[in-house]
A and B are shown apart, each in its own frame.
Chain A
Amino acid sequence: NAGVMQNPRHLVRRRGQEARLRCSPVKGHSHVYWYRQLPEEGLKFMVYLQKENIIDESGMPKERFSAEFPKEGPSILRIQQVVRGDSAAYFCASSSDLQETQYFGPGTRLLVL
């Protein structure tokens, strides 16, 4: 019974490059959430997706950030033209249709040089 899986666990990018973060939810879960945790801070909501649909992207920066959750495959959080301020831990969580409990993955730690 695998939990939420995220990869890569660590990602180093230079300013201006693209970062692609992947999340595989718990098997059977159709709801995926992305959160960002800046150093020494709490978790901030970014986006909520169900299969093939973005339900709530109110926490997502308007530029450079995008997310998808295709019918097949993992959810992807994409950050274009990264800047140093994007350095953070990005967590994915998933939940089922029947429960409000969100289960978190181990996170991807992005470092922008």
Chain B
Amino acid sequence: QQQVKQSPQSLIVQKGGISIINCAYENTAFDYFPWYQQFPGKGPALLIAIRPDVSEKKEGRFTISFNKSAKQFSLHIMDSQPGDSATYFCAASKGSGSRLTFGEGTQLTVNP
């Protein structure tokens, strides 16, 4: 019940295209859903996060869509750039002072 499932495992997109990564969770106690970006040899960096009281959150080219009834959330990267090539992790937690449960990661490649 603690799992977060992420898909696809890898994704190749052309420059300017839209990248979409999906996650599904089981534990309805989760109330905080961040996305992290990780470059090779670096630590994960917070990209954007959402709480279940909103269905969408946008920051620049990055948008999270959240479907509470389906227990799914997704990351959309608009106008994808080669510099976006990285591994993306979705995660979930029960809020402040609790562990993050991560998805398996999506390796995104944006071709020039």
Binding site for B on A (CB under 8 A): 4, 6, 31, 33, 35, 41-45, 48, 55-56, 59, 91, 93, 95, 97-107
Contacts and interface: CB of A to CB of B under 8 A. Distances in A.
Interface of B: 6, 32, 34, 36, 42-46, 49, 89, 93, 95-105
A31 B95 CA distance: 13
A42 B43 contact: no
22 contacts: A31-B97, A35-B100, A41-B104, A41-B105, A42-B103, A43-B44, A43-B89, A43-B100, A43-B102, A44-B102, A45-B99, A45-B101, A56-B99, A95-B96, A97-B96, A100-B32, A100-B95, A101-B34, A101-B49, A103-B46, A104-B44, A105-B43
Contacts, number: 60
B93 to A, nearest CB: 6
A56 B94 CA distance: 13
Nearest to A50: B97
Given A33-B100, A42-B102, A56-B99, A100 B43 contact: no
A106 B104 contact: no
A97 B97 CA distance: 8
A41 B107 CA distance: 11
B102 A55 contact: no
A104 B43 contact: yes
A101 B89 contact: no
Nearest to B100: A102
B8 to A, nearest CB: 14
Contacts of B44: 43, 91, 104
Contacts of A99: 96
Nearest to A107: B43
Nearest to A10: B41
A97 B96 CA distance: 7
B100 A45 contact: yes
